[in-house]
Chain A
Amino acid sequence: MSTAHGQASVAAAATREISYAEAIAEALRTEMRLDPRVFVMGEDVGNFGGLFGGTKGLLEEFGPERVRDTPISEAALIGAGVGAAITGMRPMVEIQFMDFTACAMDQIVNQAAKIRFMLGGKAEVPLVIRTPYGTGLKLASQHSQSLEAWFAHVPGLLVAIPSTPSDAKGLLVTALRDCNPVIFLEHKLLYPTRGPVPEEQYTIPFGQADVKRRGEDVTIVATGLMVRRSLEAAEALAAEGIEAEVVDPRTLVPLDKAAIMASVQKTGRLVVVHEAVKRGGFGGEIASLIAEEAFDYLDAPIKRVAGRNVPIAFNETLEKRAVPSAEDIVVAVRSLTR
């Protein structure tokens, strides 16, 4: 893993509780103060402050040149982001819902991801694409998907998926300073969640997992909102005498394989949890990694706890049951430890 993707720099400093959305906005605000090349554009990012508040307050401080409300033109926004990025700017494009990245897929996959390679390494594409993903708001099939595997599959893209406010801030600062296109995924239900976040600017390196809970009996690798569900599950399991270790990769590309392997080598058991549909999901990648490289350490089969292979329904119950609950995780872990 190169160090180019950020250096850990959390120092002792004032820390207070803010929301995930506030942490996102704070990362953007502080980077925009530090680096005049950083600007943001997207649908409703200015006056509205972003549908989920990720760009709140930016228009007031930086004005409409650097905080650009845009027409509904996802493909052109990413295209313009690429064009600006290869000519010296550092754009952050917000795509209002992850589902809408489908409208811009050519620009993300064929342009942003490929330009550097196709040009023999001569271009840099410092482009951050922030986008909310996931279920929970009763928004049905076109506003609820978790499509991270699409992007993790494409060489040339980096994929970050922070689960806490402090991770969100540190990873977003890293993303904004990186020279590659970054897909930055924020679960909708995480925006109002609160947690301690240092006031000062800091970075969290890409490719460095965080162990959110220590345990000896089973490794749970989870991403985004599922980190919270896994921690809930771990508490329930602790009451039964099972100590789960919850590993949050924080970035899928690059992936901290060593941290996952180290945990599995300790516990001998692996459960992978994500909200995205199971079929073709990133959990398969993690499971394969362990099967290929740490099989001898396994005391039980690998389990994936993931979304059902279905579109997300509008109905609240159907929506809820399409994705993993804490109870689903508990059941999966029990099946490996009994």
Chain B
Amino acid sequence: MTTVKRTTQKSKTAPRAPRRASSVDTIPDAEGPDRMAMLRMMVRIRAFEMKLAELVRDLVIKGTLHPYVGQEAVATGVCFALRTDDYITSNHRGHGHALAKGADMNRMMAELLGRQTGYCKGKGGSMHIADLDLGMLGCNGIVGGGIGITAGAALSAKLRGTDQVSVGFFGDGAANTGIAHEAMNLAATWRLPAIFLCENNQYALSMPYAKAVAAADIASRAVGYGMPGELVDGNDALAVWAATRRAVLHARQGSGPTLLECKTYRWLQHSLRVKGPDRPADEEAAWKARCPIAKLRRQLTSEGFLDDAGFADMELAAVKEVEASVAFALASPEPTLDEIEKDIYAGGFVE
């Protein structure tokens, strides 16, 4: 992968055939990922997100959440191509990223319920879940806010002489922030081991991609930064894995960053508290017909690795895990009031 995949095709929000690797037989890696584990991960993410919709509706969870339903293949495909010590930064729609990087569902759910046992002791909530031990450097409430951090973690790896890779997940909306440009230019100039992972889910809240960007694709920007860019079918977990794998190898061997754009679609509202304008029904239907979970499930079924009962077991296990996480969260204490002034400064300084 040495050149940017130039794209001239007009962007549409309707789904279309992937332009590159769409199945395992094009993966330049003999072994390939554990596809059953990938499917299981996607099912877990969806079960988690669907439960959240219910918990938000019932006010068990306060505040808002940004659901990842429909985009599960991106987080899963990317994180299955990473090591635990590789870094990711995430955005406001980050539960899928966190789970795929290995985050503990109990601690995530506890955080979403604002409990002391949560990842951030209830201080961060949905938009700030992080687990530094897993290389998960944090979701982010500022659109584009994590992209510079991605470059910094990559710089850190380079300076420390490791071969860690740093992946920044951001959306099509964040692609238009200034720091996206600055960070990609910086990383390319310094040949940092970074992957800029644009998850183009077609909408920035209510703003359709085509009204925010004149160019058909974000990936084509890569040429302007002097780094490889690639368009990926974001509903194909294996295509995402393969593209990420290429970018990871590129980064690990010191050849610098890659811009990957995964075209996908957010099935639910921007946030679970906001009812936005209706999107075209045929558009929604077309994307839902390309469900990333159904796609991988079909593949595994047709190859004889999975039957209906096996998939049902997978779903049941995910639902049970989610229910257990809710029970864990509900049984967990709220943070004590003294937490309000803790954790602001290292060293314990409180004014």
A residues within 8 Å of B by Cβ? 1-2, 4-5, 39, 65-66, 68, 70-71, 73, 75-89, 91, 106-107, 110-111, 115-126, 155-156, 158, 178-180, 207, 253-255
Contact = CB atoms under 8 A, between A and B. Distances in A.
B347 A180 contact: yes
B120 A82 contact: no
B145 A87 contact: no
A89 B156 CA distance: 6
B333 interface: no
A122 B128 CA distance: 12
A258 to B, nearest CB: 13
Given A76-B183, A84-B152, A84-B153, A121 B121 contact: yes
A254 B186 contact: no
A80 B145 CA distance: 11
B347 A179 contact: yes
21 contacts: A65-B158, A65-B159, A70-B186, A73-B185, A75-B182, A76-B185, A79-B152, A83-B156, A86-B152, A87-B152, A111-B140, A111-B142, A118-B123, A118-B138, A119-B130, A120-B121, A120-B123, A120-B343, A121-B342, A122-B132, A254-B349
B342 to A, nearest CB: 6
A58 to B, nearest CB: 15
Nearest to A75: B179
Contacts of B130: 118-119, 122-123
Contacts of A126: 346
Interface residues of B, number: 50
Contact of A80 (B118, B120, B138, B183): B183
A156 B344 CA distance: 5
A116 B341 CA distance: 12
Contacts of B186: 70-71, 73, 76-77, 80
A155 B349 CA distance: 11
B15 interface: no
Given A73-B186, A120-B124, A110 B141 contact: yes
Contacts of B151: 76, 79-80, 83
A111 B347 CA distance: 19
Contact of B185 (A71, A106, A125): A71
Contacts of A76: 147-148, 151, 179, 182-183, 185-186
A158 B349 CA distance: 10
A82 B159 contact: no
Contact of B179 (A5, A81, A107): A107
Nearest 3 CB-CB pairings of A with B: A79-B148, A83-B152, A4-B347
Interface string B299-316: 000000000000000000
Nearest to A157: B345
Contacts of A156: 344-345
Given A75-B178, A83-B166, A110-B142, A88 B346 contact: no
Contact of A78 (B118, B137, B148): B148
Contacts of B128: 118-119
Nearest to A87: B156
A107 B186 CA distance: 16
B87 interface: yes
B351 interface: yes
Nearest to A106: B142
Given A73-B186, A118-B123, A66 B148 contact: no
A128 to B, nearest CB: 14
A117 B343 contact: yes
Nearest to A39: B159
